[in-house]
Structure 1
Amino acid sequence: METLFGILNNCVYGILALLALWGAYCVILVWRRVGQVRFADEEDQDEFLSELEQALEMNNYGAVSELCEDDRRALPQLALYAVNNRNIGYAKLRRRVAERFQQDVLSDVEHRLSWVGTVIKSAPMIGLLGTVMGMMGAFANLSSGDKVDTVQMASDIQFALITTALGLAIAVPLVLSTASINIRIRKMEDLVGVGMSRLFEALKFAEA
């Protein structure tokens, strides 16, 4: 029985370690992804939009393509898509640009964040499982009918407390990281929204 509990204890520790690594990996990926697709600040985006508007004022769509094509951030790619499809009508174009932003940028970020959310929920539950297992081991020791092994009992209780602490120690930093990432995503959405409004105004000016 003690051997079985030892194996199960090691499994709980292993699962908690894997959850911690996977959660951290997903957080890093999402953080990097958001950083790759957004402008650093509004001033940086304004500089890009000024160049874009100048090219559109002169109906120089080649310059627009050259400006946007190699820039993998969200707004330049959306701008390139909008310019290349400018003849389908503004209402339809706005809808398609919004759909493209959702599919190409937000869906990938949300997919990774959903995994972080899964780790946040799972880690305390696995910790609680370890707590229950530790207490089961301690009570099994008490009910054995033999002389109580106080060392083993203390080890079981220690395991119960450690797994609870580890589950919370994994979940809490991920909760804070997710909150920070969501703020970055909201700022990115605001910047892209402002940028696309200016782009559509420039496209109307170019077509006038």
Structure 2
Amino acid sequence: MNQQIFDIAATVIYTAMAAVAVYGVFVVVLLIRRIGQKQFRNAAQGDAFLEEITEHLRRREYEAVVEKCDRPPYWSKAVPQLMMMATTNRGTPLPKLKRNLAEKFERDVLADLEYRTSWITTIVKTAPMLGLLGTVVGMIAAFGKIASMQQQGATNPADLAQDISFALATTAVGLSIAIPLVLAGNVLQVKIGKLQDSVQDYLGRFLDEFAESIGTGGGPS
């Protein structure tokens, strides 16, 4: 392989791997922030919020519930937004309302998280493939030099060092990108699972109080 072509290929491969690594880190950080925005900071904050909402429901103060859910720091969190939707649509039959809430959570929260998580999976698959491409390019260059040196009647292993080093280095870099992202992806899946569990727990407790509230004084007010 011509040395100039090899140098161009090496630059392209290293640049692509750097871009993949940077984008992978960006997606992981973005997902961590997005999950943090959608859930309560801790259980104490969630329980305190639910207790306030419950008091409003028992007094059938539906507008107060909507106002509480639609202001900082709760307006961007999944549970308050679902509570607000339920309250503003309290005239809807409860089974249909529960279905609508599940669909909204799936569409507005989980779908976005799963879409971004899929990019991590793509990067995990792409990085080692780029490393393998570098290995192939490096070995082609090395064998090309071996053939050239044999024709000249002399072989110098030192002349092959750069090509073999590149072949091994790209493999190592590809794995170095993929392995941490595999771990990060698994951690994020656990966080998403905990978010789902949290939403189901708080929403279930809310709907119990909500059903009792609209049953005893229900309907729009």
Q: TM-score range by the shorter chain?
A: over 0.9
Separation in 1, partners of 2:159, 2:34: 48
> Match of 2:54?
53
> Match of 1:166?
173
Match of 1:103 among 97, 103, 107: 107
3-state SS, counterpart of residue 60 of structure 2: coil
Q: Which runs of 5+ in 2 are unaligned?
A: 217-221
Separation in 1, partners of 2:7, 2:159: 11
Whichever of the two has the greater Rg, that structure is: 2
Deviation at 1:8, TM superposition (A): 0.4
1:18 aligns with 2:25: no
> Match of 1:175?
182
3-state SS, counterpart of residue 87 of structure 1: coil
Separation in 2, partners of 1:132, 1:83: 61
For these two proteins, the number of residue pairs brought into alignment is 208
| Structure 1 residue runs of 4 or more that deviate by more than 3 Å after TM superposition | 147-152
1:196 aligns with 2:200: no
User: Quick check: 1:49–1:195 contact (8 Å CA) kept in 2?
Assistant: yes
The one-letter code sitting in structure 1 at the alignment partner of 2:199 is V
Separation in 1, partners of 2:90, 2:190: 32
Deviation at 1:9, TM superposition (A): 0.8
The one-letter code sitting in structure 2 at the alignment partner of 1:48 is F
The one-letter code sitting in structure 2 at the alignment partner of 1:98 is A
Deviation at 1:150, TM superposition (A): 3.2
> Match of 1:43?
44
Q: Deviations over 1:135-180 (max 9, x none)?
A: 1111110011223353331000000010000000000111111111
3-state SS, counterpart of residue 40 of structure 2: coil
TM-score for both structures, normalised by structure 2: 0.91
CA RMSD of the aligned region, Å? 1.0
Match of 2:95 among 86, 91, 94: 91
The one-letter code sitting in structure 2 at the alignment partner of 1:127 is G
3-state SS, counterpart of residue 143 of structure 1: helix
Separation in 1, partners of 2:126, 2:155: 34
Separation in 2, partners of 1:151, 1:15: 28
The one-letter code sitting in structure 1 at the alignment partner of 2:44 is E
> Match of 1:5?
6
TM-score for both structures, normalised by structure 1: 0.97
Separation in 1, partners of 2:201, 2:10: 53
Match of 1:152 among 147, 159, 163: 159
3-state SS, counterpart of residue 91 of structure 2: helix
User: Quick check: 1:42–1:191 contact (8 Å CA) kept in 2?
Assistant: no
Separation in 2, partners of 1:37, 1:183: 15
Deviation at 1:41, TM superposition (A): 2.5
User: Quick check: 1:141–1:149 contact (8 Å CA) kept in 2?
Assistant: no
3-state SS, counterpart of residue 86 of structure 1: coil
Separation in 1, partners of 2:168, 2:185: 26
Separation in 2, partners of 1:168, 1:88: 53
Q: Which runs of 5+ in 1 are unaligned?
A: none
> Match of 1:132?
136
Separation in 1, partners of 2:124, 2:105: 27
Q: Deviations over 1:45-104 (max 9, x none)?
A: 111100001001100011101110022100000100011112111111111101100111
